[in-house]
Amino acid sequence: MEVAVTVVMVTWNSADHVDDALTSLQSGLTGLSWRLVVADNASSDDTIERVRRRVPGATVVQTGYNAGYSAGINAALAVAGASAAYLVLNPDVIVGPGAIAALSNELSRPGVGIAVPLIRDERGQVSPSLRRDPTVLRAMGEALLGGYRAGRLPRLGELVIDPDAYRHATNVDWASGAVMLISHACAQRVGPWDESFLLYSEETDFALRARDSGILIRFCPDAAVTHIGGDAHVSSALYRLLVHNRVRLFRKRHGRARSVGFWMAVTLNELLRSHRRVNRAALRALMRPLTQPVVPGLGQR
């Protein structure tokens, strides 16, 4: 029987957070029929035992190794069955009451295929989760001004900073992949997630491919979630992967000349901040060919 929402969760040693995430689904999905599919990337803790205790009917897919976020999503979708929509959800996200019903309402709008919520951090502060298209000018603006300062100027920053942008429902270029409700039609049209990204930029790639095919991405402030947060800006391994994949994604979508300009702008950003360990790690990654993978031990996004 078709359900309204299939929750797709990718886990890797997620025991510290997964109980709270799964508990929140009951109120977050109020009024909707749903099922849970978890793709586990070879957790060495008791993540899967916790999933089975909390949601006994969950389907668990064991990838057998640390396959990455995209591969986990693809593995889960392969066994998900018929569903009106798919909720891609990080295991460290707490879903607010009624949040997914609000996102589902946005999917009923003509042309909308992806709906994203308002994300708050652990302190209850709004996280700037909305993004603009990556461009050379925006990458240079972020290098020279910093991401937050550049984000106040739409032409110069990828990060959307303006508080007003988070108060009203609107169409966006793309957004954080921690929570995304994707319609069945969108999933079918866009196809599998690109597994070459492993972690970071995979949601950007999926969202921009959706927009390439004419699908709209809708931000819904009435849907609120809490994202406990990841390790990207404190872990050198994760941050260098984030930066490396950001350049790889741009190269995938643009010609050589513009891609060289983007690489130069991103490299300048890391060079100007190279007094920090994570930026030095990113610089080393940027010196590698884009075809050479950067593979850390993966943590939370």
Domain count, the chain: 2
In this prediction, residues 139-147 reach a mean pLDDT of 96
pLDDT for residue 60: 97
Higher pLDDT, 198 or 101: 101
pLDDT for residue 233: 64
pLDDT tens across 234-267, in order? 688 889 999 999 999 999 999 999 999 999 999 9
pLDDT bin (cut points 50, 70, 90) of residue 1 is very low
Residue 146 lies in a domain: no
| pLDDT of 296 over the 70 cut | no
pLDDT for residue 286: 93
What's the chain's average pLDDT? Answer: 93
Residue 116 lies in a domain: yes
Residue 102 lies in a domain: yes
| pLDDT of 301 over the 70 cut | no
Give yes or no: residues 107 and 45 share one domain: yes
Which CATH number goes with the domain that contains 211?
Answer: 3.90.550.10
| Three-state SS letters, the chain | CCEEEEEEEEECCCCCCHHHHHHHHHHHCCCCCEEEEEEECCCCCCHHHHHHHHCCCCEEEECCCCCCHHHHHHHHHHHCCCEEEEEEECCCEEECCCHHHHHHHHHCCCCEEEEEEEEECCCCCECCCEECCCCHHHHHHHHHHCHHHHHCCCCCCCECCCHHHHCCCEECCEECCCEEEEEHHHHHHHCCCCHHHCCCCHHHHHHHHHHHCCCEEEEEEEEEEEECCCCCCCCHHHHHHHHHHHHHHHHHHCCHHHHHHHHHHHHHHHHHCCCCHHHHHHHHHHCCCCCCCCCCCCCCC
Give yes or no: residues 220 and 259 share one domain: no
Q: Which of 187, 202, 227 is the last residue of a domain?
A: 227
Higher pLDDT, 129 or 294: 129
pLDDT bin (cut points 50, 70, 90) of residue 176 is very high
Give yes or no: residues 85 and 129 share one domain: yes
Q: Which domain holds residue 251?
A: 236-286
pLDDT for residue 218: 98
Give yes or no: residues 240 and 125 share one domain: no
Give yes or no: residues 87 and 183 share one domain: yes
pLDDT tens across 19-46, in order? 999 999 999 999 999 999 999 999 999 9
